[in-house]
Structure 1
Amino acid sequence: MKTYKSIITFDSSCDLPIYDEVDVLVCGGGPAGVAAAETSARHGNKTLLVERLGFLGGAAVAGYSGTICGMYYGCDNPLDEEPKQCVYGWTDKFYQEMKKCNAVTKPQPYGKTFLVPFDPQMWKEVAENMVVGAGAKILYHTNIIGVIKDEDVFKGIVIDTKSGMAQIRSKIIIDSTGDADIIYRAGYDYTMGNNGSIQNPTMIFRLGGVDTKKFFDYWGEDRISPDKVSEAMKEAISKGANLPRLKVWVYDTTRPNELFMNVTLITGRDGHELNVCDPDDHTEAEEVARKQVREYAEFFKQYIPGCENSFINDLSCEIGVRQTRSIVGIDKITNDDVAKAKKRPDGIVRCPWPIELHSGEKPYLFWLINDYYEIPYGALVPAIGENLIVAGRNLCAEHQALASCRVTAQCFGYGHAAGLAADKAIKDNKRLRDLKGEYIRKLLNEENAKLD
């Protein structure tokens, strides 16, 4: 990796033009950022959400994760059991709004749990309506290039737009960038997977022109591929196909004659793991991914019943990222917390989702059956730095634990908790680290989180 200037900080004397001064500044408009901004604004705070793209959704939309994962309990026989909801609060609030727009499918069986595919275009519109409707402002097409702080007290950020650079001042910053960009720009400690080894990115696409009845008659109800598909892939590979992932996941969508394809496994051309925080790796990932999408689409057309007349209908506008930087927090989610389904009085989000570790040709899965663990409030609060809280997959978690707690339903919950914490820190004149997780849990329960 080439050398870059990563630490870009200014103090309060920064003389760049001031774009705005707000109570709560939300950095990043993915699921966590959307929930945080709506929650903060709904509680009467002047709130600004800054997003690098021209729409909300983050990895859920731009990276086409495409499903609300982590909302339902795991079970032994999802083909024979009804889905049982485990996560409520802001997750359920968004889910209900999407249902009103017919923008989600019914829960679909995935291994030993359920998930809900959604319409990405409606995701953008529903999220924007909720954020703006709560009174927050959104600033699209804006990159965050630096932070403003006095010693360890954050005061704002520096942005770059088509019109040039400016500053935004705020009382509280919520880092929902997914990559811990605020911590990184400040030069504070972070971790990166398992000693630098992180989960593979992916590129998800939609396959149109499918006879979905014929397809699922062959495939079965479980959206994880049956063994006969892996065997067919091996045959295609023997004839020259490039299909590095042999266990793949396919869902039907809200659109007719279409499948949602989570099938790719993206590594470098020489086989090395790609770290999308490295711009060279990030570029290579995009190039490799598009070619791999074409290979998988051709495989389905040639080998899988129902796909004979299929075509690539759409693919994600950027590579889907599962993992980059994680903060060093005042508390941490450990691998053991997940394995033992740990409950805690300061837990602010439930997680019933399995450890879903994407590395190698077959993802590693560890299921939680009729159970869940809880994420502590302290995992959102950095060990160093005042007026800053994170929300999203950049929270403090060990490698395998993050492979569980990074998904959409939980990210909505982190944003909900961070938005409430920001509100109370301002109104009660307290540091974020001095707020008790038990107190944030109580506030969440008052907003239908159903944690108790």
Structure 2
Amino acid sequence: MTAGTTPRLAIWQLDAVSDGSDLPVLAEVDVCIVGAGAAGVAAAVTCAEAGLSSVVIEKYGFAGGAAVAGMSGTICGLFQASDRSSTPVQVVRGFTERFMVGLEQRHGLTAPQPYGKTWTVAHDPLVWRETADDMLTRAGVRVLFHTAVTGVVLDGDRHRGVVIESNAGRAVVLARRTIDASGDGAVAVRAGLDYTFGDEGAIQNPTMFFRLGGVDAAAFWQEWGADTICSEATTHRIAAASDAGLDLPRKKIWAFATPQPGQLLVNATRLSGADGRMLNVIDPEDFTEAEILGRRQVREYERFFRDAFDSCRGAYVIDTGVEAGIRQTRTITGVETLTNDDVIGLRKRPDGIARSPWPIELHVGERPKLHWLLDDFYEVPYLALVPERGEDIIVAGRCLSAEHEALASCRVTAQCFEYGQAAAVATVLSLQSSSAYRELAGERIRSEMIGLGSEL
């Protein structure tokens, strides 16, 4: 762990919380889901459709998490990588597929696009929000936007809810089970549960995605090439522009077609401190620096695109992410941990609750490091979602228990949808059987997920 990554413990005991106290009870539900990104939306919808009273808490005024606020913009982790096949082979479905259908129905999703040895699809961020809104409301989830979690309610070591803060004041949501889908382990860590932070304190670089409008798309792809990852020729042009004075720290960049005509989604920036240090995006000062520097870098890359490609002469930045794109922060210490060897060895397991064919994509240093998983996938164990200590809490999303390089593969959007559904299935079974999360068999979770359409 590094300085500035551990919030002061914010724990209230259950017997100190009641209506009429300084901590009024806003709601009492079966399950509270913190975070409305891919994992949180999947968890909330699945719980509500199973008949559980569910509330989801989200700090922004919309669902989407890194996919929307961070504008990651793609659903990665769907397709196998291959040196042999030129046809995308989709190996992840389940809630991921269900959400994609919702995007497609609203014309908010592209066809598969080549990404090195694999493929990905890009979505429209507004359509993502609308799809999530529709699914959450149809399922009967109570949604609290513009609301932050500031503490937890415990009964001994049992999680009994969260303390929330909004412009309306402070209140409590009591819940029989809690799903931490915050991405940062915000609930688990506030309760004092164990975690790690990157590779001995070093985390992957954040980035600032942006959308570029005013592009002659047909001409652009002729200039750029078929792959969304830039060619060596473009890398050399970036290096030359950098030598000429533009602030272009990343030379290997990506551009994706979007569902809207004349637009590109660009992942080009690499954010580090003005003094070259790693930015700890849990620390608000570092997070702020990342976003200010990110927006400045976006303008430099905008200038590069206009100067380097005839198809972009009239291009302009439509918008950037609401926040910097975060790849990694806290990782809980789970009952089980997805290891680097599990990923490299393409390990299958009877308790696996999600497939991942995505490469180890480690964003450190001058250019991303890629280790491709060819024509295969590995599976993530159920107990990687269950904290080693604490009762009645489970995590979903990028804060699952995984070693550093393993996390660089398993953290992407398609898998996060599946972690959310797995956490929800486990919550339903836990409440039905009055069992602890760690007592549930991963094989049972897997079986239920197959029944819900997951390909396992």
Q: TM-score, normalised by structure 2?
A: 0.97
In 1, Cα distance between equivalents of 2:65 and 2:454: 23
What does the per-residue CA deviation read over 1:43-76, in whole Å, with 9 as the maximum and x for residues that have no partner? 0000000100000000000000100000111111
SS in 1 for 2:265: strand
Instruction: Specify the alignment match of 1:265 in structure 2.
Output: 270
What does the per-residue CA deviation read over 1:186-221, in whole Å, with 9 as the maximum and x for residues that have no partner? 112100110010000000001111111111111110
In 2, Cα distance between equivalents of 1:443 and 1:257: 42
The AA in structure 2 aligned to 1:12 is L
Contact 2:59 2:147 in 1 (8 A): yes
Structure 1 runs of 4+ aligned residues shifted over 2 Å read 1-5
- Aligned match of 1:100 in 105, 110, 117? 105
Question: Taking structure 1 as reference, are residues 125 and 5 closer, same or farther at Cα in structure 2, changes over 3 Å only?
Answer: closer
Aligned ranges 1:42-121 → 2 under 5 Å: 42-76=49-83, 81-121=86-126
Q: CA deviation at 1:450?
A: 2.1
In 1, Cα distance between equivalents of 2:116 and 2:355: 20
Q: CA deviation at 1:427?
A: 1.1
In 2, Cα distance between equivalents of 1:400 and 1:224: 21
SS in 2 for 1:289: helix
Q: CA deviation at 1:4?
A: 7.8
In 2, Cα distance between equivalents of 1:151 and 1:235: 61
The AA in structure 1 aligned to 2:74 is T
Instruction: Specify the alignment match of 2:160 in structure 1.
Output: 155
In 2, Cα distance between equivalents of 1:305 and 1:187: 55
Instruction: Specify the alignment match of 1:9 in structure 2.
Output: 11
The AA in structure 2 aligned to 1:427 is Q
Instruction: Specify the alignment match of 1:312 in structure 2.
Output: 317
Aligned ranges 1:226-241 → 2 under 5 Å: 226-241=231-246
Aligned ranges 1:283-362 → 2 under 5 Å: 283-362=288-367
Q: Equivalent pairs: percent with the same residue? A: 47
1:420 to 2:422 alignment: no
The AA in structure 2 aligned to 1:228 is A
Instruction: Specify the alignment match of 1:123 in structure 2.
Output: 128
What does the per-residue CA deviation read over 1:327-380, in whole Å, with 9 as the maximum and x for residues that have no partner? 000001111111110000000000000011111121001111110000000000
The AA in structure 2 aligned to 1:48 is V
Contact 1:74 1:114 in 2 (8 A): yes
1:432 to 2:437 alignment: yes
In 1, Cα distance between equivalents of 2:438 and 2:351: 13
SS in 2 for 1:306: helix
Q: CA deviation at 1:304?
A: 2.2
Question: Taking structure 1 as reference, are residues 77 and 244 closer, same or farther at Cα in structure 2, changes over 3 Å only?
Answer: farther
- For structure 1, the 5+ residue unaligned runs are none
Contact 1:180 1:325 in 2 (8 A): yes
Aligned ranges 1:385-400 → 2 under 5 Å: 385-400=390-405
- For structure 2, the 5+ residue unaligned runs are 18-22
Aligned ranges 1:155-304 → 2 under 5 Å: 155-304=160-309
In 2, Cα distance between equivalents of 1:314 and 1:167: 35
The Cα RMSD (Å) is 1.1
In 2, Cα distance between equivalents of 1:4 and 1:48: 26
Q: CA deviation at 1:309?
A: 1.1
Q: CA deviation at 1:131?
A: 1.4
Contact 2:150 2:163 in 1 (8 A): yes
Contact 1:77 1:112 in 2 (8 A): no
Instruction: Specify the alignment match of 1:38 in structure 2.
Output: 45
Q: CA deviation at 1:315?
A: 1.1
In 2, Cα distance between equivalents of 1:238 and 1:382: 48
Contact 1:177 1:392 in 2 (8 A): yes
Question: Taking structure 1 as reference, are residues 154 and 104 closer, same or farther at Cα in structure 2, changes over 3 Å only?
Answer: same
Question: Taking structure 1 as reference, are residues 289 and 3 closer, same or farther at Cα in structure 2, changes over 3 Å only?
Answer: closer
Q: CA deviation at 1:96?
A: 1.2
SS in 2 for 1:126: helix
In 1, Cα distance between equivalents of 2:274 and 2:326: 18
Contact 2:212 2:264 in 1 (8 A): yes
Contact 1:334 1:398 in 2 (8 A): yes
The AA in structure 2 aligned to 1:231 is H
The AA in structure 2 aligned to 1:14 is A
Contact 1:203 1:320 in 2 (8 A): yes
The AA in structure 1 aligned to 2:369 is Y
- More deviation, 208-217/375-384: 208-217
The AA in structure 2 aligned to 1:36 is A
Q: TM-score, normalised by structure 1?
A: 0.98
SS in 2 for 1:13: helix
What does the per-residue CA deviation read over 1:80-107, in whole Å, with 9 as the maximum and x for residues that have no partner? x121110011111111111111110000
Contact 2:329 2:399 in 1 (8 A): yes
In 2, Cα distance between equivalents of 1:5 and 1:92: 36
Q: CA deviation at 1:2?
A: 6.2
- More deviation, 9-18/287-296: 9-18
